[in-house]
Structure 1
């Protein structure tokens, strides 16, 4: 299955994966490869900051 478009979590990076639970297209930062889930499905209680890793390399859109 080919994934196209931007990540549905950060809306900045190119989506490379599809969440096996909700079907969201997400980038590598927002996908848990071990679980096959997007960060929202992998952490439904929101205990982890989904933007804590890798956001510093993303330019701000203005």
Structure 2
């Protein structure tokens, strides 16, 4: 069912409000599941502090070098 405002291309305030509520409903989940990967990304992007060894995923594994 199309309303008059939808056929003319203008969005009603109810449509905009419904879509905004839908997006804001998923925002806590995006923050919850995206925070740790974002922090890890920033760590790799910015690099280590001066004077510290290079950081890589291999350094995290508990394997002794031979």
TM-score grouping bracket, smaller chain normalisation: under 0.3
User: Normalising to structure 1: TM-score of the pair?
Assistant: 0.20
- Bigger RCO (CA 8 Å, 6+ sep): 1
Larger helix proportion, structure 1 or 2?
Answer: 2
Normalized per residue, which structure has more strand? 1
Query: If the length of structure 2 is used for normalisation, what is the TM-score?
Result: 0.19
Higher Cα radius of gyration: 2
